[in-house]
């Protein structure tokens, strides 16, 4: 990882320089009147020594002039200060071939720039650093110095699932093989196409997601009840509105079928069973009491208006449209510890583990461990992570199904998610756009070699 406050600054300190230099730059530190800005003497000395050769009255590289910065109009001054702050923070200036400031000199200038920009709430760098894309620029020296004693944590959050996870969740509704074709489903979750880790918890649901999910929910709900409708005589077995979309489950869940085949209105108990079935199919959990009461009332209203089949289907659609279907939740539960932190619930931990290692929901053993309270300690986490890493089948799949074509095929590996991490981190996602050779597609395979306290990964080239 790159970092920006390292120990490579080796130039002599300002204190050892000649008095003549201070005399030359004293103009930077003169108190100003009116709208002029005061540049502290120490800051002025550092700027003069490292920057004046390229950014003074005689030469202004990049159209940046620093010797008159204190007299610039405010808008122009803030623009220059922002450029300075970013260039110095990311160590793009001074150029590498020039003398570099000591880390304490760099800190003096950055602290002053930050303070000046804060007066006007104008720091563009601070906004950028709030973006997770810039997490890779954390100082390694500070990160691993041992001086930071604060306990680690992440804020309570809802995190939009990855596109691959969405596809698996839809398939999970039908309990179908992962290879089934989602002809009528549009994935509403798109990660940016750029180098670097792209999956962060900063994106939220919006109107665009909702419009796509409305269409998806219609397709899913009709497929869920199709077999029961055929049995009820509502449509023929070979009746498909779209000839290209002829996939359908062979059966309908019994709770749904009971309502569709019933001649009169279903009982409240039958409706309750259907609601719980859909919650299990879609959200992998049972509805709580408040949700159950709300959905019973809604379903009864739907059935009164549209009949058993359509009333049931509207309930199915409503559950699919729950925002939780597109999120993973990490709010924690239980009491706060001495540092103000709250542990993930066993259910939340099961999804955190599952999605760290792959794109499928927790497997039955992980679900059981969470339900039985065996997913609360580091030892519990270690047991489940090493088990899933050793499992060669559960996550097995193609590294990138999107490259499948007449002349290219994606490799199948036991843990595609591990490959995805390295592809994201090193920018391999754009490889096929750069290399057009359709005969040889180089790739990297990671295999789990050992499952000791740490997981060792070997890399071999195919």
pLDDT, averaged in runs of 10, over the chain (462 residues) = 29 37 38 62 84 72 75 85 85 81 86 88 81 68 80 87 92 78 89 70 85 96 97 94 90 97 96 98 96 97 97 98 94 90 94 94 95 95 97 90 75 88 70 48 42 35 31
Q: Is the pTM of this model over 0.75?
A: no
140, 6 contact by CB (below 8 A): yes
- In this prediction, residue 77 carries a pLDDT of 86
- In this prediction, residue 297 carries a pLDDT of 97
133, 148 contact by CB (below 8 A): no
- In this prediction, residue 434 carries a pLDDT of 55
Q: What is the DSSP letter of 233?
A: T
259, 270 contact by CB (below 8 A): yes
- In this prediction, residue 85 carries a pLDDT of 86
Burial (CB count within 10 angstroms: exposed 0-12, middle 13-18, buried 19+), residue 141: middle
Nearest CA among 90, 63, 75, 95 for reference residue 2: 90
- In this prediction, residue 35 carries a pLDDT of 59
| Helices assigned H by DSSP within 179-333 | 207-231, 254-261, 268-283, 289-320
| pLDDT tens profile 391-427 | 999 999 888 777 777 777 778 899 999 888 877 777 6
How far is Cα 291 from Cα 283, in angstroms, rounded to an integer?
A: 13
- In this prediction, residue 314 carries a pLDDT of 98
How far is Cα 307 from Cα 166, in angstroms, rounded to an integer?
A: 31
By three-state DSSP, how is residue 179 classified? coil
Which tokens hold the place of 201? 């918890």
Domain boundaries, the chain: 14-143, 159-327, 331-390, 397-461
Which tokens hold the place of 392? 């060669």
Cβ count within 10 A of residue 427: 12
- In this prediction, residue 350 carries a pLDDT of 96
Q: What is the DSSP letter of 157?
A: E
- In this prediction, residue 395 carries a pLDDT of 94
- In this prediction, residue 354 carries a pLDDT of 96
- In this prediction, residue 196 carries a pLDDT of 64
Cis preceding linkage at 94, omega within 30:
yes
Nearest CA among 290, 366, 326 for reference residue 166: 326
- In this prediction, residue 5 carries a pLDDT of 27
Helix, strand, coil abundance in the chain, percent, nearest 5: 50, 5, 45
- In this prediction, residue 216 carries a pLDDT of 97
Question: What is the distance, to the nearest Å, from the Cα of residue 272 to the centroid of all Cα atoms in its chain?
Answer: 35
How far is Cα 67 from Cα 101, in angstroms, rounded to an integer?
A: 18
Helices 254-261, 289-320: axis angle to 10 degrees equals 80
Strand 327-330, strand 157-160: pairing: antiparallel
What does the angle CA 91 – CA 95 – CA 99 come to, to the nearest 5 degrees? Answer: 95
- In this prediction, residue 41 carries a pLDDT of 86
Residue pointed to by tokens 């720039």: 113
Helices 207-231, 289-320: axis angle to 10 degrees equals 90
């Amino acid at each position: 990882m790159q970092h920006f406050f390292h120990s490579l600054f080796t130039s002599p300190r300002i204190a050892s320089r000649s008095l003549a230099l201070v005399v030359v730059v004293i103009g930077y530190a003169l108190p100003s009147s009116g709208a002029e800005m005061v540049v502290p003497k120490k800051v002025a000395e550092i700027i003069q020594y490292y920057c004046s050769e390229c950014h003074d009255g005689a030469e202004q590289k990049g159209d940046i002039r620093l010797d008159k910065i204190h007299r610039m109009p405010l808008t122009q001054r803030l623009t220059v200060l922002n450029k300075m702050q970013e260039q110095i923070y990311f160590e793009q200036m001074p150029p590498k071939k020039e003398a570099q400031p000591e880390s304490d000199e760099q800190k003096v200038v950055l602290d002053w720039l930050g303070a000046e920009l804060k007066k006007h709430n104008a720091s563009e760098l601070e906004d950028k650093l709030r973006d997770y894309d810039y997490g890779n620029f954390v100082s390694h020296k500070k990160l691993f110095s041992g001086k930071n004693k604060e306990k680690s944590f992440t804020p309570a959050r809802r995190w939009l699932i990855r596109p691959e996870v969405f596809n698996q969740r839809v398939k999970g509704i039908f309990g179908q093989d992962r290879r089934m074709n989602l002809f009528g489903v549009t994935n509403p979750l798109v990660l940016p196409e750029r180098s670097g880790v792209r999956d962060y918890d900063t994106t939220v649901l919006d109107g665009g997601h909702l419009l796509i999910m409305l269409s998806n929910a219609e397709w899913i709900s009709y497929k869920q009840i199709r077999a029961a409708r055929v049995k009820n005589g509502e449509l023929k077995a070979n009746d498909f509105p779209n000839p290209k979309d002829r996939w359908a489950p062979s059966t309908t869940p019994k709770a749904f079928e009971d309502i569709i085949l019933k001649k009169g209105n279903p009982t409240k108990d039958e409706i309750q069973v259907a609601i719980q079935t859909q919650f299990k199919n879609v959200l992998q959990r049972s509805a709580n009491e408040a949700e159950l009461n709300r959905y019973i009332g809604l379903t009864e209203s739907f059935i009164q208006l549209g009949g058993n089949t359509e009333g049931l289907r509207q309930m199915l659609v409503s559950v699919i449209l729950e925002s939780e279907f597109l999120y993973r939740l990490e709010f924690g539960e239980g009491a706060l510890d001495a540092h103000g932190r709250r542990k993930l619930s066993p259910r939340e931990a099961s999804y955190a583990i599952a999605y760290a290692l792959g794109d499928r929901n927790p497997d039955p053993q992980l679900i059981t461990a969470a339900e039985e309270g065996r997913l609360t300690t580091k030892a519990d986490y270690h047991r489940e992570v090493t088990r899933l890493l050793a499992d060669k089948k559960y996550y097995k799949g193609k590294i990138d199904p999107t490259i499948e074509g007449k002349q290219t095929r994606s490799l199948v590996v036991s843990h595609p998610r591990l490959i995805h991490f390295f592809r994201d981190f090193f920018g391999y996602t754009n490889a096929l756009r750069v290399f057009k050779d359709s005969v040889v597609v180089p790739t990297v395979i990671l295999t789990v070699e050992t499952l000791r306290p740490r997981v060792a990964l070997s890399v071999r080239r195919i």
